[in-house]
Amino acid sequence: MSDFDSNPFADPDLNNPFKVSADPSVTQVTRNTPPGLEEYNPFSDSKNPPPAKVKMANTAPSTQPAIMNPTEEPPAYTQIAKEHALAQAELLKRQEELEKKAAELDRREREMQSLNQSGGRKNNWPPLPGNFPVGPCFYQDFSVDIPVEFQKTVKIMYNLWMFHTVTLFVNIFGCLAWFCLDAGRGVDFGLAILWFLLFTPCSFVCWYRPLYGAFRSDSSFRFFVFFFVYICQFAVHVLQAAGFQGWGNCGWISALTGLNKSTPVGIMMIMIAALFTASAVISLVMFKKVHGLYRTTDASFEKAQQEFATGVMTNKTVQTAAANAASSAATNAAQNAFKGNQI
């Protein structure tokens, strides 16, 4: 009966579940099957090779270099390096301070040894021979008296004093040559000798020794004495470099005048004028340098006043004069009172 009920015109494979091509989606999948997969039977006894592996497309690596974004923060190690550099600079600074203190202690130790060996300080300047009738007048030792950080400055000032002394000495010969050229320049020759004999000791005593003592004992009063006298000394240097006629200096004015009369004498006087000019320029530079060092010390005007008052009160001459004045005043007062009672 079933054969009579079936449709003779229908597809016999329509209801067949094992028909692969019946479903379009299955047909599409089977068409895209990789090669070799249909020949592979897992239940077969034959050792057929496995299906070929599907190779994936390799993507080319990026060749662009990595670039750091400028807005990113620097790595932490830069901060550590900076702190290490600061710590190293601090250690170097402390080491330098310790070296200065060690040099200062060494200087004081050598000073004590020299005092113990010689039985006290003996004057050693100017260095005169032993058989000379006049002995040295001052004691001078830079390595013993002056702190290490000020020794160079004091030595330069000492050399500047010597340079000016040599210039004054050469100035005598320049004025002598001018006097031989012009008989009316005898006054300049005489003044040149006077300036050499006067300025050489006075400049040493009036501004160099106060500077030496100021750096030796950090004396504010001596600093002020040096500044006052050295300003006057600088004015003298300027006048000597100018070379006014009749003042005893072979400055620029006198040198140009002498050059008109004699070329050799004029050249000699121009060289002396250049030495006076160099003295003036170096004096100005060193004045600024000493003033800068003075500001780094504890010196002040109030301290200078206290040192002056203390020095005056402790001076034996002043004390003797004050005691004599007080005793004389007391004696006069007693005599006046006695005379008044008699009247």
Q: Are residues 151 and 281 in the same domain?
A: yes
Residue 121 belongs to domain spanning: 102-145
Tell me how far apart the alpha carbons of residues 189 and 171 are, in angstroms, rounded to a whole number.
9
Q: Is residue 215 assigned to a domain?
A: yes
Question: Among 145, 169, 200, which residue terminates a domain?
Answer: 145
Q: Is residue 72 assigned to a domain?
A: no
Q: Are residues 130 and 229 in the same domain?
A: no
Q: Are residues 168 and 304 in the same domain?
A: yes
Q: Are residues 122 and 266 in the same domain?
A: no
Q: Are residues 196 and 275 in the same domain?
A: yes
The pLDDT of residue 318 is: 47
Smallest CA-to-CA distance from 231 within 251, 203, 255, 194 is with: 203
Mean pLDDT, consecutive 10-residue stretches, the chain (343 aa), reads 55 54 54 53 54 51 53 61 80 81 72 61 82 85 87 94 96 93 89 94 94 89 92 94 91 91 91 96 95 80 68 54 58 61 56
Q: Is the dihedral of CA 83, 85, 90, 95 positive or negative?
A: positive
The pLDDT of residue 228 is: 93
Tell me how far apart the alpha carbons of residues 160 and 212 are, in angstroms, rounded to a whole number.
13
Q: Are residues 283 and 168 in the same domain?
A: yes
Q: Is residue 161 assigned to a domain?
A: yes
The pLDDT of residue 220 is: 87
C-beta separation of 133 from 145 below 8 A = no
Please state the pTM of the whole predicted model. 0.61
Q: Is residue 254 assigned to a domain?
A: yes
C-beta separation of 253 from 242 below 8 A = yes
Q: Is residue 286 assigned to a domain?
A: yes
The pLDDT of residue 275 is: 96
Helix and strand totals (H; E) in the chain: 12, 0
The pLDDT of residue 115 is: 60
Number of domains in the chain: 2
